[in-house]
Amino acid sequence: MATAYERVQAARSGKRPSGGYYIDRMVDGFVELHGDRRYGDDPAIIGGIGWMNGQAVTVIAMERGDSIEDRMRRHFGCPSPEGYRKALRLMKLSEKFGRPIICLIGSSGAYCGIQAEQRGQGEAIAENLFEMMGLRVPIISVVIGEGGSGGALALGVCDTAIMLENSVYSVISPEGCASILWKDASKAPEAAEALHLTSYDLHKFGVVEHVIKEQNRTEKEIGAELKQLILDELAQKSAMSVDALLAARYQKFRSIGA
Amino acid sequence: MSLKDTISSILPHSTPAAPAQEPRTCKQCGTTTAYEELRKNHMICPSCGAYYRMHAWERIADILDEGSFTELDKAMQSSDPISFPNYPQKLAQAKQASGLQEAVVCGIGKIEGVRCAVFVMDSAFMMGSMGTIVGEKITRLFEKATAQKLPVVGFLTSGGARMQEGILSLMQMAKVSGAVRKHSDNGGLYLPVLTDPTTGGITASFAMQGDIILAEPHALIGFAGQRVIEQTTGEKLPQGFQRAEFLLEHGFVDLIEERPRLRFMLANLLKLHQKPETPKMTKPFRSLMPERRR
Ligand SMILES: [Zn+2]
């Protein structure tokens, strides 16, 4: 069994597929849409529409980039306020036309910087949490890599939450936790254990509904299983009335720590 | 009247621990002031005007009509849901230091005669961080306010989500947001007052979900921590970065109000949103409002 920190490292690995990879694997005829209509377009988030087994879907995905230039440009997948606002714009568009929404989460968190604060990083995340609670179409969120705190949760309000086995999801990075607790970032492995941030921990807490196994499987196989699971979940959620869907979404989060 | 007396007059059947009533020394100018004088001055340093951080019960005494407050869920206490190292000890210390059971006090009270649901966070309890109990208490308050068609007034101060409860703390941001959303969909008014400091996951959730967002002067309000931003970007932070005035300038708070005027501003806003059949302001607003300083 992998330790918590080994999973953190696997989740962060540069070799691990990012959002764009899963879009390619799962979505046919993907059309990327750009911009928040307020300030700019954030390449840390890829958003667009396409087909999944003949069904129109909206996909919002964090993308860390491949080459070093691409990674710099995309802030390693850490979204700025414009990214969250683009995501919300596309989610509202999706709601208008009755399309379900799939969110793929995988970066160390919201981008940290002076400009991001000036343009309301906190407000952008808060707005997504508030609006996603009421979106009248099914939302499936998948943690594919590192689920870093509030910046991840901003795409994480959903009807079904899925994690890939070696992804992690945490309130704070193990390094951040270790330096606050023990004034020593090198104790991150201990902090990772203490935080209970693995897919199995979150499944046990009831925060995520499904874990997709990665061990001894190719990325292609993982992508195929993820696609099938999303389709199954969408079929279930789409059969519900909007009122029942929203009530269940409220209850899903309402019951955590109640 | 001492704070203890004030509290017992507000809460005849409850005896929450009062904060220390010794003279306090201002961190900004070094002036030492008697506690009674500070209380009368809304916990503002009389010589330099710096704001002391307020204890939850000081805030309640400062803002709510005397004798109007009924606390809700006061016995709720955090357990140690993910068995985090030293968390039970930290909780015990926080209770000792703050005289509170958790980092938020919730209840129903009146401001200038207007009934409202009120939550007051307290930075003396583990930096006002939000774990499952803080999330649960605030969620229950919004649900009660929704059921009883009451406005919600919140006094926020927090370092963010509480890491000792791991992912469960993070999820409280979504949980509270759901309750705020329901209250809003039901036509409820929510007035958050952001006080020093309001940061992290609180800023990224219910601090920024108000209908009208108020802030105290000079309060630190932001998402990312200043040291983290400096270390990550290598840039020097601009003067006044993440202060209330900075957020006002960038369009993220509606107004900044001084403490001596806050109660009246809240009353005014509450009354401006009341249904037409309820009583209007009895006296002209201007006659109630203390003069602005300077
Ligand atoms: Zn002073």
**Which CATH number goes with the domain that contains A97?**
3.90.226.10
Give pLDDT, residue B278: 61
Which pLDDT band holds residue B294 (cuts at 50, 70, 90)? low
Of the partner residues B132, B178, B251, the one whose CB lies closest to the CB of residue A133: B178
Of the partner residues B131, B133, B178, the one whose CB lies closest to the CB of residue A254: B178
Domain that residue A237 falls in:
4-254
Predicted model pTM:
0.94
Q: Report cis status (omega within 30 of 0) of the bond before B19.
A: no
Give pLDDT, residue B77: 95
Q: How many domains does chain A have?
A: 1
Indicate yes or no: CB of A195 within 8 angstroms of CB of B209.
Answer: no
- Which of A98, A103, A6 lies closest to A47 in space, CA to CA? A103
Q: What value does the mean pLDDT of chain B take?
A: 92
Indicate yes or no: CB of A126 within 8 angstroms of CB of B185.
Answer: no
Indicate yes or no: CB of B232 within 8 angstroms of CB of A123.
Answer: no
B132 and B81 Cβ atoms separated by less than 8 Å: yes
Indicate yes or no: CB of B229 within 8 angstroms of CB of A113.
Answer: yes
The CA B32 to ligand 1 mean position distance, Å, reads 8
Mutate one of B86, B144, B173, B226 to test the A interface: name it (highest A CB count within 10 A): B173
Indicate yes or no: CB of B136 within 8 angstroms of CB of A197.
Answer: no
B36 and B46 Cβ atoms separated by less than 8 Å: no
What is the distance, to the nearest Å, from the Cα of residue B289 to the centroid of all Cα atoms in its chain?
A: 21
Indicate yes or no: CB of B222 within 8 angstroms of CB of A122.
Answer: yes
Considering the domain boundaries, does residue B14 fall inside one? Answer: no
The CA B52 to ligand 1 mean position distance, Å, reads 9
- Residues in chain B with CB shorter than 8 Å from the CB of A125 are 204-205, 223
Indicate yes or no: CB of B163 within 8 angstroms of CB of A254.
Answer: no
The beta strands (E) that lie in chain A are given as 28-33, 45-52, 55-62, 101-107, 139-148, 160-164, 168-170, 210-212
Residue B223 has pLDDT above 90, yes or no: yes
Average pLDDT over residues B190-214: 98
Considering the domain boundaries, does residue B23 fall inside one? Answer: no
**Tens of pLDDT along chain A (258 residues)?**
799 999 999 999 999 999 999 999 999 999 999 999 999 999 999 999 999 999 999 999 999 999 999 999 999 999 999 999 999 999 999 999 999 999 999 999 999 999 999 999 999 999 999 999 999 999 999 999 999 999 999 999 999 999 999 999 999 999 999 999 899 999 999 999 999 999 999 999 999 999 999 999 999 999 999 999 999 999 999 999 999 999 999 999 999 999
Indicate yes or no: CB of A126 within 8 angstroms of CB of B206.
Answer: yes
Query: What percentage of chain B has pLDDT greater than the value 70?
Result: 91
Q: How many domains does chain B have?
A: 1
Alpha carbon distance, N-terminus to C-terminus of chain A: 31
The CA B273 to ligand 1 mean position distance, Å, reads 37
Give pLDDT, residue B9: 47
Closest residue in B to A249 (Cα–Cα): B178
Give pLDDT, residue B11: 45
A vs B: CB pairs below 8 A: 169
Give pLDDT, residue B276: 73
Considering the domain boundaries, does residue B166 fall inside one? Answer: yes
B215 and B250 Cβ atoms separated by less than 8 Å: no
Backbone angles phi, psi at A8, to 5 degrees: -60, -45
Residue B13 has pLDDT above 70, yes or no: no
Tokens of B277: 């059949």
Of the partner residues A114, A149, A256, the one whose CB lies closest to the CB of residue B238: A114
B111 and B270 Cβ atoms separated by less than 8 Å: yes
Distance from CA of A87 to the nearest CA of B (A): 16
Strand partners, A230: none
Considering the domain boundaries, does residue B1 fall inside one? Answer: no
Give pLDDT, residue B292: 83
Whole-angstrom distance, CA of residue B78 vs CA of residue B104? 12
Considering the domain boundaries, does residue B67 fall inside one? Answer: yes
Mutate one of A76, A123, A136 to test the B interface: name it (highest B CB count within 10 A): A123
Residues 6 or more apart whose CB falls under 8 angstroms from that of B53 comprise: B43, B123, B124, B157, B195, B196
The CA B39 to ligand 1 mean position distance, Å, reads 14
B272 vs B278, higher pLDDT: B272
Which pLDDT band holds residue B286 (cuts at 50, 70, 90)? confident
The string of pLDDT tens digits covering residues B44-72 is: 999 999 999 999 999 999 999 999 999 99
Give pLDDT, residue B281: 66
Whole-angstrom distance, CA of residue A97 vs CA of residue A50? 13
Closest residue in B to A248 (Cα–Cα): B178
- Residues in chain A with CB shorter than 8 Å from the CB of B205 are 125-126, 129, 150
The string of pLDDT tens digits covering residues B83-140 is: 999 999 999 999 999 999 999 999 999 999 999 999 999 999 999 999 999 999 999 9
Residue B186 has pLDDT above 90, yes or no: yes
Residues 6 or more apart whose CB falls under 8 angstroms from that of A241 comprise: none
Domain that residue B210 falls in:
55-272
- Residues in chain B with CB shorter than 8 Å from the CB of A117 are 222-224, 229, 241-242
Which range among A62-66, B16-20, B254-258 shows the weakest confidence by mean pLDDT?
B16-20
B145 and B188 Cβ atoms separated by less than 8 Å: yes
Give pLDDT, residue B12: 35
Distance from CA of A28 to the nearest CA of B (A): 32
> Looking at residue B214, which CATH number applies to its domain?
3.90.226.10
The CA B20 to ligand 1 mean position distance, Å, reads 19
Residue B6 has pLDDT above 60, yes or no: no
Considering the domain boundaries, does residue B180 fall inside one? Answer: yes
Closest residue in A to B199 (Cα–Cα): A122
Give pLDDT, residue B3: 52
Give pLDDT, residue B21: 85
Considering the domain boundaries, does residue B19 fall inside one? Answer: no
Indicate yes or no: CB of B167 within 8 angstroms of CB of A169.
Answer: yes
Residue B14 has pLDDT above 90, yes or no: no
Which pLDDT band holds residue B5 (cuts at 50, 70, 90)? low
Closest residue in B to A157 (Cα–Cα): B174
Give pLDDT, residue B19: 60
The CA B111 to ligand 1 mean position distance, Å, reads 29
